[in-house]
Amino acid sequence: MSDDLPAGPTADKAGLRRELLARRRQRSDTDRWRDAAQLAADLPGLLSALGADPSRPLCLYVPVRHEPGAAPDGSTPLLDAAVSLGRRVLLPVTVGAGPGEETGPLDWATFHDRGDLAPGPHGLLEPSGRRLGPDAVADAAVVVVPALAASPTGVRLGRGGGHYDRTLPLVGRATVVVALVGDDELRESLPAEPHDVPVDAVWRPTAGLLRTAGTP
């Protein structure tokens, strides 16, 4: 590492992100298929373990490229599983990705099927339907959050956009926040900054669900 980089959690996060993304890119299509199928199959058990109220929505996201849950053919097994359970599914719309735009909390729109998705910033797929506003997250039973790594105490390392850090303070008291990471992405400790919002649980394709320290 170069001597003129700032020391501390911000610099530590940048180095870790590079390492974790490089590892993800090495995952084979076979492993990615297995993870996507496993997560979809485990969703009912996850929701019942978390006591997720069926009348309240689930905030998910569309995993892309090498994110856990992304199927190599671009299908959406986890989202489809949620819909087939009769759950209302909300997906994030990135706010502030355009030039000169200020990053804000994520907006949300409903997912019914793949036809609702359109290309978004950073090569993402985002819902193209009516936007419900950032406060839609407040009513969610569960918010599944993308992460590059997470720790047993609930520290989560994101991509560095600060989108979820601005969004998670809006969730309701009854909402369970779950970080979705790969099986090798649970790290004993991770750099944390004051704005980082801890997650209540960590979900991994094979290892399953881990409630983080400090949650009831």
Interface residues with ligand FFO (CB under 6 A)? 21, 61-64, 67, 92, 94, 106, 122-124, 146, 158-159, 161, 163-164
Residue 165 binding: pick among ligand ATP, ligand FFO, none (C-beta 5-8 Å cut-off by kind): ligand ATP
Residue 166 binding: pick among ligand ATP, ligand FFO, none (C-beta 5-8 Å cut-off by kind): ligand ATP
Q: Please check whether residue 186 is in contact with residue 149, taking contact to mean a CB–CB distance below 8 angstroms.
A: yes
Q: Please check whether residue 88 is in contact with residue 58, taking contact to mean a CB–CB distance below 8 angstroms.
A: yes
Rounded Cα gap, residues 145 and 112, in angstroms = 19
Q: Which is nearer to ligand FFO, 49 or 162 (CB)?
A: 162
Which residue is associated with the tokens 């496993």?
Answer: 38
Q: Which is nearer to ligand FFO, 165 or 183 (CB)?
A: 165
What pairs with residue 91 in β-bridges? 109
Q: How far is the CB of 152 from ligand ATP (least distance, A)?
A: 18
Q: Which is nearer to ligand FFO, 46 or 79 (CB)?
A: 79
Run of H or E including 202: strand 201-204
Count the Cβ atoms, other than its own, within 10 Å of residue 201. Answer: 21
Q: Which is nearer to ligand FFO, 94 or 212 (CB)?
A: 94
**Which residues are at the interface with ligand ATP (CB under 6 A)?**
13, 157-166, 193, 195-196
Q: How far is the CB of 106 from ligand ATP (least distance, A)?
A: 9
Nearest to 94, CA basis, from 142, 62, 65: 62
